[in-house]
Amino acid sequence: MDNSRLDRTGGSAGIAFVIATVVAALLTGQPPGPEASNQTVQRFFIDHHSQVVLQGWLYALATGLVIWFAVAVRRLLHTAPGGRHLGDLFFVGTVAVAALSFVSMSIRIVAAGAAHELSASAVRAVGGDFSLVLLALCGFIVALAATGYAGCVFSHPMLPRWTGWLAVIAAVVNVVGTLSVFLSDGPFSIEGGWGTLLPVAATGVWYLGTSVSLFRAPRSPPRIRPGKPAGHNCPVRRLDPGCPGVSRNTAKLTRYQGSGEFSWCSGRIWLVPRSRAYCSGCLEPVSPPSGSVRPRHTTGARTGASGPTLGV
């Protein structure tokens, strides 16, 4: 798959993951708090059986989406210095959290189905507290994944740096959220809601920002095989700063400048991978601006190109 297409589908998967997660979280409404009795919790699972099952199904769907998102992000993180290790840390951490959430939701669905047969305390422990404790302790893994992501983005901004700061915030909030296991009551306890809601929200904002950045990433230039014309529709070109009346397109060029060779020209120079060809539609070669060490164009016979070559 083309890298630009992978970026866009990965960004779309990340956005869809956030949407599916938000919808799933809203399905059952507010569950009983820490002050509720075991019987109240049991009745909640019995009355909301269908919603709990649909919620678990949506979370399972979100698991597949976030894994695809993580694959696309890891590819970009690998382009950073030392990004192979940090990128793998992000990927493995994200997949681990997704897998644990998958297990947690599966157990929650089973508990909802057997809630009328199990004791009230068992329903609360298995269907409620187990899932919440697992989600809270996953904060350590999320923090590791966020650290790997931020380390890559700050050293080599293949994605916007502000997404790195979102990752840092998510890491801090998730680590703090793990402390909720020590609280038995109050809004920041396991059943209080805020101890798990804030880490999930911080992680969701980070994923959403990264997904949008992935989706809007510049598209890569079309690959041109040797022996075929470069064509006049290539979206990436380098222009001579001295050329009057022609706008520049250096932003896209920066990303792909390692794929070809360029020189000064009074017209357009097309990026042809593994070639030094320039388009036959270029204007007459000119000398570089005064003081530049770049050579002027020369012509010559080189196969696999649509026009003359650049003299180097």
Q: Where are the domains of the chain?
A: 3-215, 224-312
Look at the block and give the residue holding tokens 């059986």: 49
Q: How far apart are CA 257 and CA 247, in angstroms?
A: 18
- Residues 124-130: contacts with CB within 8 Å, 24+ apart? 124/38, 124/41, 124/42, 127/41, 127/45, 128/31, 128/41, 128/45, 128/191, 129/190, 129/191, 130/104
Contact 119, 154 (CB under 8 A): no
* Residue 37 clears pLDDT 90, i.e. is over it: yes
Quick check: 295 pLDDT over 60? no
The alpha carbon of residue 160 and the mean position of all alpha carbons in its chain are separated, in whole angstroms, by 11
| Sign of the torsion formed by the C-alpha atoms of 172, 77, 7 and 258 | positive
More confident residue, 78 or 226: 78
Which of 66-75, 215-224, 228-237 is most confident?
66-75
Measured distance CA(141)–CA(150) in Å, rounded: 14
The pLDDT of residue 301 is 35
Calpha distance 302→312 (Å, rounded): 13
Q: Rounded to a whole number, what is the distance in angstroms from the first to the last CA of the chain?
A: 34
Asked whether residue 265 carries a pLDDT value surpassing 50, the answer given is no
Enter the pTM of the model: 0.68
CB 190 within 8 A of CB 196: yes
Beta bridge partners of 237: 270
Question: Cα(104)–Cα(129) distance, rounded to whole angstroms?
Answer: 10
Residue 59's pLDDT is: 94
Give 237 or 206, the one with higher predicted confidence.
Answer: 206
